[in-house]
Chain A
Amino acid sequence: MKDEVTREERVDALGGMGCKRKRVEDARFTQGKGNYVDDLKLDGMLFGDFVRSPYAHARVKSVDSSAAMEVPGVLAVLTAADLEPLGLHWMPTLAGDKMMVLADGKVLYQGQEVAFVVATDRYAAADGIESVEVEYEELPVLVDPFEALQSDVVLREDLLGADGGTPDGAHGPRNHPNHIFTWEAGDKDATEQVIGAADVVAEEMVYYHRTHPCPLETCGCVASMDKVNGKLTLWGTFQAPHAIRTVVSLISGIEEHNIRVISPDIGGGFGNKVGAYPGYVCSVVASIVTGKPVKWIEDRMDNLMTTAFARDYWMQGKIAATKEGKITGLWCHTTADHGGFDACADPTKFPAGFMNICTGSYDIPTAYLAVDGVYTNKAPGGVAYRCSFRVTEAAYFIERMIEVLAIELGMDAAELRRINFIKAEQFPYQSALGWEYDSGDYHTAWGKAMAAVGYDDLRAEQAQRVADFKAGKTRKLLGIGLCHFTEIVGAGPVKNCDILGLGMFDSCEIRIHPTGSAIARLGTISQGQGHATTFAQILATEIGLPADSITIEEGDTDTAPYGLGTYGSRSTPVAGAATAMAGRKIRAKAQMIAAYLLEVHDGDVEFDVDRFVVKGAPERFKTMKEIAFASYNQAIPGLEPGLEAVSYYDPPNMTYPFGAYVCVMEIDVDTGEHEIRQFYALDDCGTRINPMIIEGQVHGGLTEALAIAMGQEIAYDEMGNVKTATLMDFFLPTAVETPHYTTDHTVTPSPHHPIGAKGVGESPNVGGVPAFSNAVHDAFRAFGLRQSHMPHDHWRIWKIANELGLHG
């Protein structure tokens, strides 16, 4: 038997950063013992559900709930008239606008909430909904944002000035009643000058269609007002439970200490569960009115039609270059369709999110971006669907513009990227649109990716395929989809990032127990990312206690420290940093305790994996476990008992993960079907905390990207009817359509993050969509295709081939 444990064995025993630790969450999930909000059952709990508008734009002449109140099991029907005395018939949005909780005189999109029926169970609520009589008067419908900006039809009469004019909105002047804001970045004149004088300019309209995060679990909540103690408890699918508590307090007037918000297990979020929805407000009111707990759970149609669409950006671009292909300028004007209310989930100062990351991975000296937000008769939302505030749109735009420029120049698109990348020595890099990229080594990543896929051979094969196609030997084309993306995540520095005035810091609080185990609580909330596993790994390395001895808790506002939640890949960059910093505070106190126990000065001991050792005398040490116990049983002069720490971390900058993706796709010209032959994804997310979880995030994000690029959309007809409101029409890939992915990585740590980590959850979605879409475009490049809008379903691909005359 070995009497001495090696240092390496001590490191392994911690299960700290860098190891493929198995997830602690999985025991309950694999046994059906997850605790999602719809699993919650309280005594006397009622069920609420909405009467929704069948029309996209209509006056609501009357709502008659008398027949519904006669339905067995129905206890209450709430309308705007009931909420008005409480001031709750409208509520503020995250974007500085306001939205109706229940239809107040009119409806602005199909599926809008008109009345809330509260009943003993789901069936009774459904019966009640059938019996509510609503009289509508249809109004002209606007589903095209360009038309909306020209139309005499005013969608938001509530925003008209007393003189019938258009007063400023939350983000400055509005130039039409259906206009929300204009947001600009960069230098307009200089950019137009560069474009005017350039050797080559490529111009294109790039549309990123409307889609939806569609987590498998829909949104929902349970509100329980305890009238005896004056306490409201609200369980729900909240990606930002603390912010929800503050919002509920602000709009209901209930003092914040009397509100407890709990996010239980969440069945996927992807941005869908960031916003505050009418269902939450109505459940709270219904619980106050009835004195009973009230549950509200969306069905899938409610979810796809109303809560949180994503994208819907029309991006007009111009990109200028020398004839050798050096990019000199980028110009972009975006028309952003926000639906009936501006309920986009963005930091306050960024009404178009981080769209100004649209210079991407390239050293573009001059650039200009303008975004116009527009009201239409579509659902509000505009959330970042597995994305950090419009980064997906920005990445898609630049990665399409690069391809179009390559066509214009007659250049290879990989080479065009390579000669324009920001060089490793240029970091920290100041972009023309105002960001400071923290670190990157794009050339290394790109070179590794090109070598891994055998890029030159692929191009040779493609050329042969084109020749064969033209010779009538094959009906299949080969597309090579390239993408090099740069993300901006980890919002963000309090100096420029807030939501509703709440700075976007995050937090961690740690308590070490006497026997050397611990609990840490964070302001974030996992929705499948495995926080309970990975945050314990960060702490294990920082404080020298095994990850298996550290419990991670999130999502209960009564116990967890305040934080802004989990979205925009901010958990690792912000809360992960807070975790490391709180761990370091623990370590600093532990150092003093160790020094006292070892009877040396504080500076004479140093941390070594799981212990403090006397410098130069490694046989003299105290383990963290011993130190933990000593903190509870020794009277140490000058030190309080116990071993606890809290950190509120305000990040000095965003982090900028990046990656190089290649998609090789076979396309059947006659059927429009595609087959993904190969997908290679290289991600650089800085320091890697758990490679197994990173790989899982990449697989999942790529599959969401596959869905978006190849078929998924929220489509409307001209009457404003949602055409894709069930999973029959809204594409979610199965295991059959989903390809096998090859993952790879480089590591360029973030210089400003305590552990150098950048976040990875959203990278594959940001980079995946351009890679899939570029593959489709690339397959038809030899036949003259420049731009064709997503989603590239079989019909649309068939149409590309048909319009190019490939069907003979």
Chain B
Amino acid sequence: MSNKMHIKLTVNGAEEEFLAEPRELLIYTLRERLGITGPHIGCETSHCGACTVNLNGKTIKSCTMFVAQANGAEVTTIEGMGGPDALHPLQEAFKEHHGLQCGYCTPGMITRAAKLLEENPSPTEEEVRFGMAGNLCRCTGYQNIVKAIMAAAADMSSSKEAAQ
């Protein structure tokens, strides 16, 4: 169609270039166009956070952002956070502390938590709960998610200290 827009994105370090309708949502681009299925769709109204990705240094809900608005952006999804050979400390901590059950919210949770710990490397429990309030979980009651994030924060700051 003639109204397609020329979009450039960097997703998990890879440059992507394509034509998209102005109404195409970022979550659709990621999941359907690029095959990046870690971010999920849960509510389509920005409430649940299953679609959370980090975009230009901010946590966003990709279900309510047009890909046109993300033109030129750098996007990080769960797939960009760590793989089988080197898990991100948050991925390790969620496994260790039973911070997930059905797994549907988990990619968004971990993606958001990573940004939260960048913003605040040693948060209190209250700060974690507040900082994660944009991500809903129906299975865990959050108690072990909070525990996992606190543990990852401690782990990350001790490795940082060791590196220094």
Contact = CB atoms under 8 A, between A and B. Distances in A.
B106 interface: yes
Contacts of B45: 300, 726-728
A620 B143 CA distance: 49
B96 to A, nearest CB: 7
Which of A22, A297, A701, A703 has the most chain B CB atoms closer than 10 A to its own CB?
A: A703
A528 B103 contact: yes
Interface stretch (B65-73, B125-133, B154-162): B125-133
B77 A727 contact: no
A699 B28 contact: no
Interface stretch (A26-34, A335-343, A461-469): A26-34
Which of B78, B98, B110, B146 has the most chain A CB atoms closer than 10 A to its own CB?
A: B98
B95 A267 contact: no
Given A268-B139, A736-B133, A527 B38 contact: no
Given A31-B84, A32-B107, A696-B101, A216 B136 contact: yes
Which of B47, B128, B141 has the most chain A CB atoms closer than 10 A to its own CB?
A: B141
Which of B24, B50, B78, B140 has the most chain A CB atoms closer than 10 A to its own CB?
A: B140
Nearest to A692: B98
Say what secondary structure dominates the interface of chain B. Answer: loop
Contact of A735 (B31, B82, B129): B129
Say what secondary structure dominates the interface of chain A. Answer: loop
Contacts of B100: 26, 29-30
Interface stretch (A36-44, A160-168, A174-182): A36-44
A38 B139 CA distance: 20
Contacts of B103: 25-26, 28-30, 34, 265, 267, 528
Nearest to A702: B141
A121 interface: yes
A36 B40 contact: yes
A217 interface: yes
A693 B136 contact: no
Given A727-B45, A732-B138, A216 B91 contact: no
Contact of B78 (A31, A266, A300, A727): A31
B83 A31 contact: yes
Nearest to B92: A30
Contact of A700 (B39, B82, B101, B128): B101
Contact of B133 (A26, A728, A734, A740): A734
A340 B100 CA distance: 36
Contact of A528 (B24, B139, B146): B139
Interface size class of A (residues with CB under 8 A): 35 or more
Interface string B8-52: 000000000000010110001001100111111111110110100
A270 B98 contact: no
B91 to A, nearest CB: 4
Nearest to A743: B143
Given A31-B87, A32-B79, A217 B102 contact: yes
B93 to A, nearest CB: 9
B138 A735 contact: no
A54 interface: no
A26 B141 contact: no
B79 A30 contact: no
A732 B78 contact: no
Interface string A719-732: 00000001110001
A728 B48 CA distance: 10
Nearest to A20: B98
A704 interface: yes
A693 B139 CA distance: 11
A7 interface: no
- Shortest Cβ-Cβ A-B pairs, 9 listed: A32-B38, A29-B103, A528-B102, A267-B104, A699-B141, A528-B101, A32-B78, A703-B141, A727-B47
Given A31-B81, A528-B102, 7 more contacts: A31-B84, A32-B36, A216-B136, A696-B98, A696-B139, A735-B142, A735-B146
Interface of B: 21, 23-24, 28, 31-32, 35-45, 47-48, 50, 77-79, 81-84, 87, 91, 94-96, 98, 100-107, 110, 128-130, 132-146
21 contacts: A25-B103, A29-B106, A30-B78, A30-B103, A32-B37, A36-B104, A38-B31, A39-B31, A41-B32, A216-B50, A216-B102, A265-B102, A267-B104, A528-B101, A699-B142, A703-B138, A726-B43, A727-B136, A732-B48, A738-B129, A738-B143
